[in-house]
């Protein structure tokens, strides 16, 4: 089963991951996105191992579970910290100071702005995959 794992940056600067689309609560936490992902994946393994060790059947939603990680803007820019926020904002057609506010988690992001950011990210990805060296 493929489900969403949301990555969010907390007000304290740490990162959390949770699963909103399944009945089981699986979380991961860390000072970085990498640490949160490692903790999250460990939580999944421990949960499944607990069922096995206790002789219980693994719930259907946990069998062969796979995750699609989705980021909030702050987490995305932290994880991909090599992206220049101001230059990326220009590419996305968003004011650079507003993009920095999005990155810090201080400002609400409309669906329209999220669409612009996702579109610019996908364009960047396409450009990078087309590079030949």
Instruction: Specify whether 95 is located in the same domain as 47.
Output: no
Instruction: Specify whether 2 is located in the same domain as 32.
Output: yes
Inform me whether the pLDDT recorded for 1 exceeds 90. Answer: no
**Cα dihedral 115→116→121→125 (10° resolution):** 90
Confidence at residue 74, expressed as pLDDT on a 0 to 100 scale: 84
Instruction: Specify whether 89 is located in the same domain as 46.
Output: no
Inform me whether the pLDDT recorded for 106 exceeds 80. Answer: no
Helix H or strand E encompassing 14: none
Instruction: Specify whether 28 is located in the same domain as 58.
Output: yes
Could you tell me which residues come within 8 angstroms of residue 14 by beta carbon, excluding any fewer than 6 positions away?
29, 30, 31, 36
Confidence at residue 104, expressed as pLDDT on a 0 to 100 scale: 84
Q: pLDDT (tens digit, 9 = 90+) per residue, 59-105?
A: 888 888 999 999 888 888 888 889 999 999 999 999 999 999 998 87
Range of the domain at 97: 83-133
Instruction: Specify whether 28 is located in the same domain as 12.
Output: yes
Q: pLDDT (tens digit, 9 = 90+) per residue, 6-26?
A: 999 888 889 999 999 998 889
Instruction: Specify whether 7 is located in the same domain as 68.
Output: yes
Confidence at residue 79, expressed as pLDDT on a 0 to 100 scale: 85
**Mean per-residue pLDDT, 31-38:** 93
Instruction: Specify whether 9 is located in the same domain as 62.
Output: yes
């Amino acid at each position: 089963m493929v489900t969403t794992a949301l990555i969010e940056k907390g007000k304290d600067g740490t990162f959390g991951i949770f699963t909103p689309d399944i009945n089981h609560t699986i979380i991961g936490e860390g000072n970085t996105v990498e640490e949160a992902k490692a903790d999250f994946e460990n939580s999944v393994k421990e949960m499944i191992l607990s069922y096995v060790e206790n002789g219980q059947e693994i719930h259907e939603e946990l069998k062969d579970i796979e995750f699609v990680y989705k980021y909030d803007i702050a987490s995305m820019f932290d994880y991909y910290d090599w992206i220049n926020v101001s230059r990326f904002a220009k590419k996305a057609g968003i004011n650079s100071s507003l993009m920095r506010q999005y990155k810090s988690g201080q400002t609400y992001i409309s669906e329209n702005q999220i669409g612009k950011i996702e579109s610019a990210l996908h364009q960047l990805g396409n450009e990078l995959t087309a590079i030949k060296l």
